A and B are shown apart, each in its own frame.
Chain A
């Protein structure tokens, strides 16, 4: 409470109450494992609800083309920085990051779509690592599979943000081709003062619960 003294005596004014909270994420896309591909780059974007505003950071990112180690390692290392700051009044519509992978194929076609994946940004403050499964639409027939292999025009999604939605997923036939590891460090401002609590940090294992990919 702030009180202001005037010549008529002290007058109290109302306390400052937060009406929105701030959420900030730093991190990186560390590396990917794709046994069937050796060169890929990543595009990142975010999907969020109507109550969220992207304040600051890289909203759509594009990484370098990563190539496997010549001495035979399997990892494609991007080490691509992620930064985003958000302002919101409502946890519903929590931002999800969507990654899309592209790269040249063996026949020399550039920018072939290799897959998509997404993760929700962590709802607790702290340091989190996520493994994203990367999947792409399957070809509908054998003929389509061969022609897309020749021309380098594989089935791709018109809008990668589809994978962050609930509707329309049931018509997708996908195949998982690899995994991408992402790291996040998150902080909040005024989340708790609005009455929200997501305070148990870190994953709680009820049983041996993380899938072993």
Chain B
């Protein structure tokens, strides 16, 4: 079995309409992949930057997979939340990214979007917060059933993904 290590961090988010933001994340992978060590989901800290435009989460990622095949290469899914002055959490974005397929240190950004509701729902969101969320985020973030969504671009999330491959070449995988 070949092994993959993901060692990196979720750096932070930027360009969102709010600055006090945090993020929930999950790493998903297919049936061929088995997680040997490390957490595959979590929630970052909430950061309000006093300088600059990046809300820094600096959240560690360290996962060790064993795999029998290339199908189901890991992906990361993120949900970005805003904590407002009244301590309510509002969802302000979904973002996904594929984990790169070459070893080394990669800096990638995941553009975020949020689903739009009807005119009334958006008006309510403007005044009292909240807004629409996906009922089944996992399905949508995997690409199914998106054709009925209308979404709006929000911000972007930066990730540092370091990858260590083991024994991939032994199984004939070229990268």
Contacts and interface: CB of A to CB of B under 8 A. Distances in A.
B46 A120 contact: no
Interface stretch (A10-18, A38-46, A161-169): A161-169
A179 B49 CA distance: 11
A163 B42 contact: no
A39 to B, nearest CB: 17
A133 interface: yes
A211 B12 contact: yes
Interface stretch (B104-112, B124-132, B139-147): B104-112
Contacts of B107: 203-206, 209-210
Contacts of A36: 50-51
Interface string B75-105: 0000000010000000000000000101111
Given A117-B58, A120-B9, A138 B48 contact: yes
Contacts of B49: 175-176
Nearest to A117: B58
Contacts of B102: 200, 204
B47 A135 contact: yes
Interface string A184-213: 000000000011111111111111111111
A196 B164 contact: yes
A211 B14 contact: yes
| Chain B at the A interface: SS class | strand
A208 B111 CA distance: 12
The binding surface of chain A is classed by DSSP as loop
Interface string B1-26: 00001011101101000000010000
Contacts of A204: 100, 102, 104-107
B62 interface: yes
Contacts of A177: 50-51
Contacts of B164: 91, 123, 196-198
5 contacts: A118-B58, A170-B44, A172-B46, A209-B109, A209-B158
Given A174-B48, A210-B158, 4 more contacts: A123-B104, A123-B163, A198-B165, A200-B102
For the complex of A and B, 8 pairs with smallest distance between CB atoms: A200-B104, A133-B56, A170-B43, A172-B45, A176-B49, A123-B162, A209-B107, A91-B5
Interface of A: 35-36, 49, 90-94, 96, 117-120, 122-124, 128, 132-133, 135, 138, 163-167, 169-170, 172-179, 194-213
